[in-house]
Each structure stands twice: as C-alpha cells, then as structure tokens.
C-alpha cells in the first residue's frame, strides 16, 4: 500500500529558528513530490514541486530535498517567521499500474512564536 | 487567489437538503478533482475528471454526485447527507490527469457542515 507519513504531527519553534519538516513514503516508484501549505480552514497553496529525477528545489527561504531510494523528503525553512505558521502537507505522486496516484500525508502543523 | 475558485466558502445544510458546490478554473487545465478533508485525516480523493469525463470514483457514496459540464467547471451535487460528511471539500486542477512533472493547483475549499 502506498502511504505518506509526516513527522512530527506538530511543531512549535521560536521566531528566527531554522527548521526541518519530514516526509517519508513507502514506494520509490514516484513521478514527483509536492509540498503544500494550508492555513486554517483554507485551501492548499503549492510551495515546491520536485520531479523524481531531481534532488532538491529552492524557493526563497524554503528548500525541499528528495531521496527516492530511502523514500524521504525534507522541507527546510530558514529563519522562520510567525507568518510561516500553517500546516505543511507533503503529497507524493506514485506510479500505479499504467497511471498515477497522488497520496497526501496528514501534515505537520507548524507554529512559529514571536 | 490560486486560479481555482470555489463557491460557496461556507455551507450549512440539513440532512434533507439538496445543495451544490462549484469549482471554476481558467488556467487551461484539463483535469479536475474533488477532495475531502476531514479532521486529522489525510486528504481523500473523491472524483477525477479528465477532459470532462469522469475517470475515477473512489468508492464515494451516491449522495455525492459530481458534474463536469466543461473543462473549466466542476460541480459536486449533495443530497441527503449525513453529519459525518461535514468536512472541507477541496477542488483541484492540473494540466492533464497523468501529468509528468506538473503539480496540482487547489482552490480555497468549501467548509460544509451538515446538521
């Protein structure tokens, strides 16, 4: 069964700290992996998309890495700010037969304290 | 705004009501999706439409009925729902269904409460 696990479920850090969110997946046969941000009661905002052939992607203070062989991805947030407080979701696009399937993790709820 | 617009943002309905959720995108995407997000659960894929044709139905009860009249619009018709159907319903789109290298764009969701 193709599953995506995110640890920790919740994280609270002081402002300015660098932090890492983790995502692990059970099957290395993937097309890509996408990190999303979700604010309370809102939809998802795409942050970074990493293709299966890539090792990392960067956008501003965010850096996402992908290690397919070990089934892991990390989202690194530098110099965290209170505005970064949100739930971060990892979604993996698995190969499934001749098609693909997008599977989400349950997310990590991040709180950045001023 | 992401380019995917969902209405209404909030909906409260009784178990005997009939209502519809609407999703609209003008990104030129050809695949659209309905997801359900319940508390403390991963997003659950409900339906997938590709080029206006339903290509996936993940064992969703018949009280949820999707409709895709064209590639820009997607509806979710609701009738005789149960309180456990209360959730955030998210619409998403992508360039094509089997897009190698393309991500999804999500709407802001409709918060549904069934009373």
pLDDT tens-digit readout, B51-97 = 888 877 778 999 999 999 998 999 999 999 999 999 999 999 988 77
Q: What pLDDT does residue B57 have?
A: 75
- pLDDT, residue A19, reads 96
Give the pLDDT confidence of A29-77 residue by residue, as tens digits: 888 899 999 998 788 888 999 989 999 999 999 999 999 999 999 999 9
**Cβ-Cβ contacts under 8 Å, B111 against chain A:** 41
Say if residue B100's pLDDT is above 80: no
A5-29: buried (b, 16+ CB within 10 Å) or exposed (e) per residue? ebeeeebebeeeeebebebbbebee
pLDDT of residue B84: 93
Q: What is d(CA B49, CA B66) in angstroms, rounded to the nearest whole number? A: 9
Interchain pair B43, A32: CB under 8 A: no
**Tokens standing for B46?**
């409900």
CB pairs under 8 A between A and B: 53
Label residue B10 exposed, middle or buried (CB < 10 Å: 0-12, 13-18, 19+).
Answer: exposed
pLDDT score at A8? 92
Mean pLDDT of chain A: 92
> Of the candidates A42, A102, A103, which has its C-beta nearest B108's C-beta?
A42
- Of all residues in chain B, what percent carry a pLDDT higher than 70? 95
pLDDT class of B102 with cuts at 50, 70, 90: low
| Average predicted confidence (pLDDT) for chain B | 89
Closest residue in B to A31 (Cα–Cα): B100
What confidence category does residue B35 fall into, taking pLDDT thresholds of 50, 70 and 90?
very high
- Tell me the pLDDT band of A89, cut-offs 50, 70 and 90: very high
Percentage above 90 pLDDT, chain A: 75
Cβ-Cβ contacts under 8 Å, A41 against chain B: 88, 109, 111
Distance from C-alpha of B47 to C-alpha of B65, rounded to nearest angstrom: 9
């Amino acid at each position: 069964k193709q599953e995506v696990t995110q640890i920790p479920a919740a994280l609270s850090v002081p402002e300015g700290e660098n932090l890492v969110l983790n995502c692990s997946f059970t099957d290395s046969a993937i097309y890509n992996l996408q990190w999303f941000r979700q604010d309370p009661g809102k939809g998802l905002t795409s942050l970074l998309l990493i293709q299966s052939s890539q090792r990392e992607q960067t956008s501003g203070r965010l850096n996402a890495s992908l290690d397919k062989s070990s089934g892991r991805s990390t989202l690194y947030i530098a110099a965290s700010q209170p505005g970064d407080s949100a739930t971060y979701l990892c979604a993996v696009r698995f190969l499934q037969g001749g098609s693909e399937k997008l599977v989400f993790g349950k997310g990590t709820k991040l709180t950045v304290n001023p | 705004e992401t380019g995917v617009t969902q209405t209404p943002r909030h909906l409260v309905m009784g178990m005997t009501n009939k209502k519809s959720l609407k999703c609209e995108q003008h990104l030129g995407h050809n695949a659209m999706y309905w997801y359900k997000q319940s508390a403390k659960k991963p997003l659950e894929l409900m339906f997938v439409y590709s080029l206006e044709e339903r290509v996936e139905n993940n064992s969703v009860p018949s009280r949820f009925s999707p409709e895709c009249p064209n590639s820009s619009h997607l509806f979710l018709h609701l009738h005789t729902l149960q309180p456990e159907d209360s959730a955030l319903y998210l619409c998403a789109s992508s360039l094509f269904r089997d897009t190698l290298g393309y991500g999804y764009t999500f709407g802001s969701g409709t918060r549904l409460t069934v009373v």
